[in-house]
Amino acid sequence: VKKVYLGIDMGGTRIKMALLNKNAEILRTKDIDAQAGLSMEQRLEDLVDDINGLVGSDCKLKGIGIAFPGIIDFESKKILSKYVKYPNAHKTDIPGWAEKHWRIPLLIENDARAALLGEWQHGSGKGCNNILMVTLGTGMGSAVLLNGQLLRGRNYLAGNLGGHMSIDFQGEICNCGNRGCVETLASTWALEENLKKIPNYKSSILYKEETLSFKSVFTCASNGDNIAEKLKLQSLEAWSSGIINLLHAYDPEKLILGGGILESKEEIIPFIRKRVWEYSWLPDSGTEIVAAEQTKYAGLQGMCYLLNIEIFNN
């Protein structure tokens, strides 16, 4: 019987699960839809059968690590932010769920922090102990490693709010209550609203699409769609500006860019490098800017690392 960890990455649209050994090698995986409106408690109960099926009879589950898109109290294993996809998540006893079903320990951490740890241990952050990670997906996530330690802060939000950095202090109110957040200006969730702010947007092919994505924004832009080009440029400018602020804040050795939007990394990374070169105080080659390598399971591998060092002393 193999001793395994279970990693769960609760994304905005998909829930990714995997069994990993203590070396963070992925043994089996299962992806399911993240149904909207389900409470956190219900969501977790619904996963039990999937998890038992994944573990099967040849593995023994030793611990669970959840990567979650929100502000997480790592010590008491609570979800602190209220604006998350799963209602009542902040009131749910998450370690109690693991205890009840399998009598095993559980850890939960912010998903950008988990992805950072995964990239650090197994991806493009190997050998580098001072890293800023930024993920561009449904929103914009971020996390910081300083001297090989996660920066968490007094209220567990240090480093995680890159997407809610205000870069337009007299701009629109974001869904978080702050003004002019990077996410409000450039993210998948705000894409439709931002499209509709561009004059003549109805002339764009994007207007006909059922679900807008940055992939189609980049494609339409390169096909000569002017509206898409404007949307692309505004998004790249907003990300760059937020990222320069973050680079100034932490002055890391390396910036790792991850998340689904990095499918278009050939356009994104050179743009950000150029902006950093033009606008930031960083000296030439002051910071390495690279794409994430372990895009799909970095968060799960990061949770595996945390289980190893926090609980099992592996």
Which residues are near its own copies by CB under 8 A?
71, 80-81, 130, 146, 151-159, 161, 164-170, 176-180, 185, 237-238, 241-242, 244-246, 248-253, 278-283, 286-287
Between 64 and 71, CB nearer to its own copies: 71
Check if the beta carbon of residue 11 is closer than 8 Å to that of residue 111: yes
How wide is the angle at C-alpha 105 spanned by C-alphas 32 and 148, nearest 5°? Answer: 90
29 or 245: CB nearest its own copies: 245
In whole angstroms, the minimum distance from the beta carbon of 101 to its own copies comes to 31
Residues 6 or more apart whose Cβ sits within 8 Å of residue 147: 129, 130
Residue with tokens 């947007």: 201
Residue placing its CB nearer to its own copies in the complex, 138 or 240? 240
| Closest CB 80 distance from its own copies, rounded Å | 8
In whole angstroms, how close is the CB of 246 to its own copies at the nearest point? 7
- Rank residues 16 and 109 by Cβ distance to its own copies and give the closer one: 109
Checking 85-90 for CB contacts under 8 A at 24+ apart, the result is: 85/10, 85/12, 85/34, 85/36, 86/10, 86/38, 86/39, 86/40, 86/43, 87/37, 87/38, 87/39, 87/40, 88/39, 88/40, 88/41, 89/39, 89/40
Which residue, 167 or 206, is less far from its own copies as judged by CB? 167
How far is the CA of 172 from the CAs of 80, 87, 242, 308, in angstroms?
25, 25, 16, 43
Nearer to its own copies, 277 or 312 (CB): 277
Residues 6+ positions from 149 with CB-CB distance below 8 Å: none
Q: How many CB atoms lie within 10 A of CB 191?
A: 19
For the CB of residue 247, give the shortest distance to its own copies in the complex, in Å. Answer: 9
Provide the greatest CA pair distance for the chain: 62
Give me the least distance between CB of 273 and its own copies, in Å please: 16
Shortest CB 199 distance to its own copies, Å: 16
DSSP code for 105? -
- Least Cβ distance, residue 105 to its own copies (angstroms): 26
User: Is the CB of 39 or the CB of 178 nearer to its own copies?
Assistant: 178
